[in-house]
Structure 1
Amino acid sequence: MTDIITTQATATAAASGAAATERFRTRQSEDAPAADTKRVDTLATELITAVHDIVRRHQVTYAEYDVLKSWLIQVGEDGEWPLFLDVWVEHVIEEVASENRAGSKGTIEGPYYVPGAPRFPADATLPMRDDEEGAPLLFQGQVTSVDGSPLAGATIEIWHADNDGYYAQFAPGLPEWNLRGHVTADDQGNFKIRTIEPAPYQIPTDGSCGNLIAAAGWHAWRPAHLHLKVSAPGHQLITTQLYFQGGQYVEDDIASAVKPELILAPAPVADGDGNQVTYDFVLDKA
């Protein structure tokens, strides 16, 4: 798909949810691991038992049960299971999966990752529109192993929302690979990526997840962040997000994905417009 979408329209939960669900299904069909029967038995039994405990502890009524049943059905019809799981569950899965790593911290992938982004050299500018709104941002750093050795040719895959909080391929009116790319580090593991600062954004609120947020009196905002997957041969891939010091919602992210080690400190660019940030990645051996 190389055509640029130019029709302007409003992004909706149904549209972004359907796109996220389709992406997940495609990836799952390609590399889904075989299920271990004993693990499925253990996890499913404990999950159902936990639900039973909640019902008994809070004396859930039939009226409340019917509301829950209706909501669960609607989540599926809206295609919002990827959104629900990525916002409220994935951060704990990631915590367990990476608890023994000595290198850089990871965090959730989220529902808006798309493989196959264009490739660029170590000094790169991400694809963007000629009139892309937002403050210019220079993101730079180095990729090393846990022993301190530079990782030549490491891959830094980056994607993020635009100045309106929308992701390419999940909202109309955006070029296919807007603000997405693979960057190959130089022979010392260094990289420089020119892009724009993303904005904080609400997760879609016009569907089932939005109904839950409203009913519980929560806010629906994620802080501004850069998504990254960093990898090198012989090392573990790390999936992470980087946030901006002093940014809105850093302290109360709806997805509970912020960690102190993932906060950037922007500084003005010395010889131009916008800000620059430096972040070095340390990868564990495979």
Structure 2
Amino acid sequence: MGLRDRGVEIKTPEQIASMRRAGLVVGETLELLRSHVRAGITTRELDAIAEDNIRSSGATPSFLGYHGFPGSICASVNDEVVHGIPGDRVLADGDVVSIDCGAIVDGWHGDAAITVAVGTVPAEVTELMRVTEEAMWRGIAAARLGGRVTDISHAVEKHVRSQGSYGILEDYTGHGIGSAMHQPPDVPNYGRAGRGPKLVRGLALAVEPMVTLGGKDVSTLEDDWTVVTDDGSRAAHFEHTFTLTEGGAWVLTALDGGEAALTALGVPFGGR
């Protein structure tokens, strides 16, 4: 069975170019939000900043109205892992906030996330953020044309496990992305390499490790969106959208295309 038979969308170079434009809007919006994260700001205020920047950049928020979601970003604080609804919550010194953002340009999506410390956080939380972001990059760096989706999964898990005792969410995964925000195939953050669909040109994937200081078990709050750790432990979430070219990986939501991080890991950069 071919990729298209499995519902996997293969993009043309022109469509990937539109995804890069969307990805740049996402990357720029996240950097803007990073600069605004401080004690005293509400997650609703961050959401307003994001929506304004996305729309003023000629794009449309991916999240707003998605299955009824009421925000342009997800803002998940402390033990909230993903899908936090922006609202009246005031960020305080010592919090961490995971911000997930998506944008659409000409019908094509970009999707990325960062976790940001508010003021001074415990050393173990800083370490959690480092490990999670590095695991994302290790996953992207493991992708090769002709390889398999779980090459990414294995690289993510291997790095997290090598760094200490952390929980890796299993019920939530990365995903294919393109003319819709969530598409096949799923990209788990754990598992054996060499499995799943083949990695080919025109495939775009969002890699997004979700890692906790405690266990992997989570629950969804009564708002039907916010996912929290069952043990109350802090969580971190990082995400980028990438594709593969003949030259290597090209990270569509990174402002530099991922060149600095991929080069530091000793793998080819496939951007242009």
**TM-score by shorter chain over 0.5:** no
TM-score (ref. length: structure 2) = 0.23
TM-score w.r.t. the length of structure 1 is: 0.22
Instruction: Tell which has more relative contact order, 1 or 2 (C-alpha 8 A, sep 6+).
Output: 1
